[in-house]
Amino acid sequence: MSASTPLPPLPEPGAPLCDAHAHLDMLEDPARALANAAVAGVALVATVVDLSEDERTFSELDAWLAGARELLDASGHDALAVPDVRIVVGAHPHNASLFTPAVASRMREATTLPRVSAFGELGLDFHYDHSPRDAQRTAFRQQLVIAREVGFPVIVHVREAHDEGLAILAEQGLPPAGCVIHCFTEDAAMAERFLELGCILSFAGPVTFKKAQGIREAAAITPLDRLLVETDAPFLAPEPLRGRKNEPAFTVLTAVAVADAKGIPTAEVASAALENARWLFRRG
């Protein structure tokens, strides 16, 4: 395991919490990140595998977990449990043009693998347009169909496409197993629309940003039973750690910001988000 930047001081969450969306395979040292998460109070981490790209998470996750256990034992944290890791599989909208029948078949096959618990992140990204928009729409719809067929929840990515994303979800119908709008970055009015449809909203580092009052207002109106916290690690590190690579331990800073927006203790947000994550990722 490589050397890494020491874990900065973090607030106590007051209760175990989750990181409902991370990319462990993009981190320099996933084992250390999982050990740090345990020290910070994170009990569950959901990590994303894009089936149109690299699937190494499946072959390396056991080693990451074992490495995290060794690090915790060596640092005197032998009483702490390594976070429960759940896997989310699918095709990101950036790679929608690569969403072939073979990838769709692989999604169905992956539902039988250990820890695989949801499909995602699927959806629309009209900011970068790495795949043509028609390809994004098609892949989004097809993955929603598969989710309904196999009874899996979905983790949805929408960027500069919220109106159309909402319309497609309404047209297709939400999978009964659950639908998360990952890294929610819109205002309270848009939050209300997704909540009315039946979605769960997941808040990431941007809720902590100084100019993100609209996101905090969205968090404030989101019921505790429809709320998650996440990092999207290694992206979007929260304040005051912006500029450094994000990791699951930093979810606690997001939980603090959400709790402050709601005017309640951080422990209430942490407990609710973890309960919601355990329900959502109950398969695998």
Q: How far apart are CA 86 and CA 248, in angstroms?
A: 13
Who's near 82: CB < 8 A, 6+ residues apart? Answer: 34, 35, 38, 65, 68, 69, 72
Contact criterion met (CB below 8 Å) for 251 and 83: no
pLDDT score for 52: 82
DSSP notation for 201-254: EEE-GGGGSTT-HHHHHHHHHS-GGGEEE---BTS-PPTT-TTS---GGGHHHH
Pair of tokens at residue 206 = 């941007």
Torsion sign across C-alpha atoms 196, 275, 179, 260: positive
pLDDT score for 1: 36
Q: How far apart are CA 56 and CA 47, in angstroms?
A: 12
The model carries a pTM of 0.96
DSSP notation for 53-86: S--HHHHHHHHHHHHHHHHHHHTT-TTSPPPEEE
pLDDT score for 5: 66
Residue ranges in the chain whose pLDDT is less than 70: 1-5, 284
Q: CA gyration radius for the chain? A: 18
pLDDT score for 3: 42
Bond into 238 cis (ω within 30): no
pLDDT score for 107: 95
Judged on CB neighbours under 10 Å (0-12, 13-18, 19+), 112 is: exposed
Bond into 164 cis (ω within 30): no
Indicate the CATH number of 17-280 among 3.40.50.2020, 2.60.40.420, 3.60.21.10, 3.20.20.140: 3.20.20.140
Q: How far apart are CA 159 and CA 124, in angstroms?
A: 6
SS3 content of the chain, % helix, strand, coil (to 5): 45, 15, 35
